[in-house]
Amino acid sequence: MNRRECLSMLVGAGGAAVFARGVRAQSGEAPKAIPTIDPPDPNPKVPNFKLPPKSCDTHTHIFGPASRYPFAANRPYNAPEAPLEAFRAVHQWIGVERCVIVNATVHGTDNRVVTDAIAQSGGAYKGIANVSDEMSDKDLDALDKGGIRGCRFAFLKRLGGVGDMNKFNRIVHRVAEIGWHVDVYFEPGTVAEFAPILRALPTAYVIDHMGTVQAAKGLDDPAFKALLDLQASDEKCWIKITGLERASAGGKPFHDSLPFAKRLVDNASDRVLWGTDWPHPNVKVMPNDGEIVDLIPLYAPDPAIRQKLLVDNPARLFKFT
């Protein structure tokens, strides 16, 4: 599959528009105005850096197709379709063999878009689900059997805010019993506020997008120092080296984010993970996935450390065989 065919799949089906028409047809009312995000770069370059065998993209999404996997009515944004076929094409282009699919908020607690992809992957995919305390033990067990290895909580105002922490605590203890970890996404500068909660969790946790660091604030930013301290002192803490484009103040090629990524990798090399965040929802500057791969040796120059970051660490946390 070439990049032009990939682009056709991304924009040709018109996922957001298809879903919006479905809502109007069912309710007879026009849906509330929901922002529409940009599609990914349709022309990922072939990276100069060759990923080692069994490299894992631990943070990526699939959107739609809406005809099969409808978006939630209360979704925070409209997403152009980014279906499994395009997902596979991008990873083939950049050299990724394993993936972890994080169910996005647009799909709510319907995790079929993830579990169906896992079922077709021949063991190459695992998933992170959206869950609620209303789910039964049978529901959670089915997700576990379907390849889900954790659940995600986005503590962002634009994605719904903090929510009921009592429900959060109940569901976290339930998923800990089946061996899952917790994936968390915070507003910039708020990791320190959540640190006591994270330290008390009964299971491992993964902090998305380098804790949403802000490169403009520099390496001495108290929020970044708090993240480093948490990472070093709590062996349950894992951090995703993702979202360099989100952290950057200077834009492409996002080199102002590299010192933060390197510091996190060096700080706890056994508990860092890498990912692309394809198809890059809600970014100000759309990255190119091949260029994201080429940043890796700049913040992880040691091949032994790269092997941990790209292969060994995700295999251990997500239980790849």
> Could you tell me if 213 and 188 are in contact, meaning their C-beta atoms sit under 8 angstroms apart?
yes
Q: Which of 57, 277, 289, 294 is catalytic?
A: 277
- Distance set, CA 232 to CA 10, 70, 314 (Å): 40, 41, 18
Which candidate, 166, 209, 205, places its Cα nearest to that of 187? 209
Closest CA to 142 of 101, 99, 109: 109
**Token pair 């998933």 is at which residue?**
127
- Strands in 181-186's sheet, in edge-to-edge order, are 56-60, 98-102, 125-129, 148-155, 181-186, 205-207, 237-241, 272-274
Asked about 277 being catalytic, the answer comes back as: yes
Residue 193 sits at φ, ψ, to 5 deg, of: -65, -35
CA dist 10 and 279 (Å) reads: 10
Taking Cα atoms as reference points, which of 21, 81, 17, 45 lies closest to residue 281?
81
* Token digits of residue 239: 């951090």
**CA-to-CA dists, residue 290 to 28, 42, 278, 298, angstroms:** 44, 11, 11, 14
* Alpha carbon distance 292, 285 (integer Å): 13
Alpha-carbon span 67 to 72, nearest angstrom: 13
In whole angstroms, give the CA distance from residue 219 to residue 47. Answer: 28
> Known catalytic residues?
277
